[in-house]
Amino acid sequence: MATANDISWEDGSPTGRPPQSPVQLAWQRFRRHKMAMVGVGLLLSIMLYVTVGALVFTEDYSNRNDLSITLQPPTAAHPFGTDGTGRDIMARTIYGGQISIIIGFLAVLVSVCVGTSVGAIAGYYGGIVDSILMRMTEAMFNTPQLFLLIILGKMLSGKIPTFQFLGRSFSGSVIVIIGVIGLTSWMYLARIVRANYLALKEREYITAAQCLGTPNWRIISRHILPNTIAPIVVSATLGVASAILSEAYISFLGLGVQAPTATWGNMLDQAYHHLDTEPWMWFFPGMLILLTVLAINFLGDGLRDALDPRTQR
């Protein structure tokens, strides 16, 4: 029976195996990247923590006030201690973690959609469209993100009521924060995507597609986009890390997700007042933010090396 090994390949690969696809090559490089593997492991453990933990504690438990046990240091019953209204901090880091991670991913989804569309349209059409879109990008780029976050966060806070989703109730501010973070972080990606579109649209295969009468939107989405996916994936991955940090920053300033929904960020909101006497209140949520962001940064670094071996850091 003829197997793949029996076929002689024209490129004379010494192993006699079929040549590997770019995805397989990238996967190999990724697996050899030690830090990326540590990142994957760390991220999986955090995911397990926030999902399996949710099976142990109910959400009601994480939001239940018990005024007889306020501000207790870590004990066997409450491994991470309790907060100012007697809520179990471990249970809150579990449910808060789910929200923080969801915010991270959805905010990046918003930012990737906006960034890719702006970059693609500007790069592909060029001319006046390009000028207007890029001036807009530059204007937002030149205003520090934290300031935009504060302004937009204050502008939209309280505008969306609490809503039910999958049988749980979420504060409307979750939606606001996702939108605000997404809309203030797309500029860098838009620039990269635009540069790629500028270069790729001059290639022969695009001219060929245009001659065949392929509509522009199809060229943008089906012919050029797949060839610029690597930087988008890398920047999206690293974007999740900075979105989680952004959530923590504006929650720390009190403009983030509002009660009853917990996030790692808003658990740190009042940390300042508990600095010296109740360090467990801010230590654990902060540590989880650090570990998650670290894991995603490791992962993103590995992805960059794997997907884009030409770029040197």
Partner 1 sequence: MTRYIIRRLLQAIPLLLFISIMIFVLANAMGDPLASFGGRRRIRSSDRERLTRQLGLDKPITVQYVVWLIGNDWMDIDLDGDGVAEVKGSRKGVLRGDWGKSFMEKRPVSKLIAERLPNTLLLMLVSEIVIIIFSLIIGIYSALKQYTVTDHAITGLSFIGYSMPIFWIALMLMYLLAVKFKQWGLPYFPTVGKYDLSVGPTIEQVAWHMVLPVASISIISIAAYTRYIRSSMLEVINEDYIRTARAKGLTERTILFRHALKNASLPLITLIGLDLPLLLSGAVLTESIFAWPGMGRLFWNAAQDTDIPVLMGVLMLISVAVVVFQIITDIVYTFLDPRIHYD
52 near partner 1, judged by CB under 8 A: no
d(CA 275, CA 264): 16
Smallest distance, Å, CB 114 to partner 1? 15
159 near partner 1, judged by CB under 8 A: no
21 near partner 1, judged by CB under 8 A: no
271 near partner 1, judged by CB under 8 A: yes
Instruction: Name the residue nearer to partner 1 (CB basis): 66 or 130.
Output: 130
d(CA 124, CA 112): 17
Residues within window 68-127 making contact with partner 1, judged by CB under 8 A: none
Q: Which of 3, 4, 167, 272 binds partner 1 (CB under 8 A)?
A: 272
End-to-end CA, the chain:
47
**Encoding tokens for residue 121?**
């349209």
Count of positions on this chain that bind partner 1 (CB under 8 A): 41
Angle between helices 127-141 and 187-200 (to 10 degrees): 150
Question: How does DSSP classify residue 216?
Answer: H
What is the length of the chain?
A: 313
Instruction: Name the residue nearer to partner 1 (CB basis): 116 or 246.
Output: 246
Contacts of 241 (CB under 8 A, 6+ apart): 104, 292, 293, 296, 297, 300
d(CA 18, CA 21): 9
Question: How does DSSP classify residue 219?
Answer: I
In the stretch 230-269, what mask flags binding to partner 1 with x, by CB under 8 A?
A: -----------x---x--xx--xx--------------x-
Instruction: Name the residue nearer to partner 1 (CB basis): 109 or 136.
Output: 136
d(CA 62, CA 310): 48
**Encoding tokens for residue 59?**
């959400």
Please count the other Cβ atoms lying within 10 Å of the Cβ belonging to residue 244: 27
Of 69-77, 137-145, 171-179, 229-237, the segment contacting partner 1 by CB under 8 A is 137-145
Of 62-70, 134-142, 217-225, 227-235, the segment contacting partner 1 by CB under 8 A is 134-142
Residues within window 22-41 making contact with partner 1, judged by CB under 8 A: 35
For 33, the 3-state DSSP assignment is coil
Of 80-88, 101-109, 227-235, 287-295, the segment contacting partner 1 by CB under 8 A is 287-295
The pair phi, psi for residue 88, each rounded to 5°, is -75, 120
Q: Which of 19, 144, 215, 309 binds partner 1 (CB under 8 A)?
A: 144
Site residues (vs partner 1, CB under 8 A): 35, 135-136, 138-140, 142-148, 150-152, 154-155, 241, 245, 248-249, 252-253, 268, 271-272, 275-276, 279, 282, 286, 289-290, 293-294, 297-298, 301, 312-313
